[in-house]
Amino acid sequence: MKTYRGYLLDLDGTVYRGKEVIPGAAEFIRHLRENNVPYLFLTNNSAATAGQVAERLQAMGIAASADEVYTSAMAAAHYLAEHASPGTPVYAIGEEGLRAELTRHGFVLTEEAPRYVIVGIDRAFTYEKLTVAARAIRAGATLIATNRDAALPSENGLSPGNGSLVAAVSVASGQEPVVIGKPEPIIVRLALEKLGTVAEETLLVGDNLFTDIDAGARSGIDTLHVLTGFSSAEDALNHPNRPTHTAADLSEWLRRISP
């Protein structure tokens, strides 16, 4: 079997479900640490900071640090830094994770004549925020979305995801967004730069064919579909982008790669 020198790991449905760790996930991550195999937790979550994501993992008994987390908010701010200089005015719809990353990169958060409108999940989204965003975009601002996830899993079922907010802003402004998060290749490219491995030697692991597996396919990176979350093995048979590997969970994959 091909030896992978780096891993990009999805979280919800791959490492944990809700507040519960998926059996075998902690052991697999421990294996990577003990064998000095670099990895990043790659998530479309833009609400939380990397530190908050790491703290959540630690509370579940999984060793994690902020340096091992890469969020769609981090990727959006990084992408924007490639196209605009510090001090550029931007309007952000989003929560702490997105706002903190934009500020860290030196962007000015404002409603006054922003050059970019960045949309991340915002559970305090209002008609007023939609109006500010749409008017800014119609005046020339560029629309960027941290991700286009239609729904988010919760203890009470599916809740509207960031894609719902992006759709509202896009319709109101008449502009399609630049999308950063999975399944788009932008977040994978930036994550690989942070990880320090090349695509040919890296494996992207996830449970969702439409985000994780498609992200790998669009980025020229091998994928591992774990059957612990959103998509089933039967789903994969009919999916346009077939995963490179399939495993019941991370413990099965660990057994395969262990000598």
Domain boundary among 179, 201, 216: 179
Q: Is 12 designated active site?
A: yes
- Looking at the DSSP bridge assignments, the partners of residue 142 are 116
Confirm whether 118 is domain-assigned. Answer: yes
Are residue 26 and residue 91 in the same domain, yes or no?
no
**Tens of pLDDT, residues 161-198:** 999 999 999 999 999 999 999 999 999 999 999 999 99
Residue 115: domain span: 73-179
Are residue 122 and residue 219 in the same domain, yes or no?
no
Which class for 67: exposed (0-12), middle (13-18), buried (19 or more C-beta within 10 A)?
exposed
Are residue 81 and residue 146 in the same domain, yes or no?
yes
Q: List the CATH number of the domain containing 28.
A: 3.40.50.1000
Confirm whether 159 is domain-assigned. Answer: yes
The Cα–Cα gap between 216 and 205 comes to 9
Closest CA to 39 of 181, 191, 184, 186: 191
The Cα–Cα gap between 150 and 230 comes to 13
Are residue 10 and residue 26 in the same domain, yes or no?
yes
Are residue 156 and residue 190 in the same domain, yes or no?
no
Alpha carbon 206 to chain centroid, angstroms: 11
The whole-number pLDDT of residue 153 equals: 66
Domain boundary among 179, 214, 243: 179
Q: Is 10 designated active site?
A: yes
Are residue 147 and residue 189 in the same domain, yes or no?
no
Cβ atoms of 7 and 32 closer than 8 Å: yes
Q: Which pTM value belongs to this model?
A: 0.92
Are residue 105 and residue 192 in the same domain, yes or no?
no
Confirm whether 186 is domain-assigned. Answer: yes
* Residue 167 CB contacts under 8 Å (≥ 6 apart), including other chains: none
Number of domains in the chain: 2
**Tens of pLDDT, residues 44-79:** 999 999 999 999 999 998 989 999 999 999 999 999
Q: Does position 155 have pLDDT exceeding 80, yes or no?
A: no
Catalytic-role residue among 10, 212, 214, 249:
10
Cβ atoms of 214 and 183 closer than 8 Å: yes
Mean pLDDT of 134-158: 88
The whole-number pLDDT of residue 174 equals: 97
Are residue 40 and residue 79 in the same domain, yes or no?
no
Cβ atoms of 74 and 42 closer than 8 Å: no
Owner of token pair 């981090």 = 74
Domain boundary among 129, 147, 179: 179
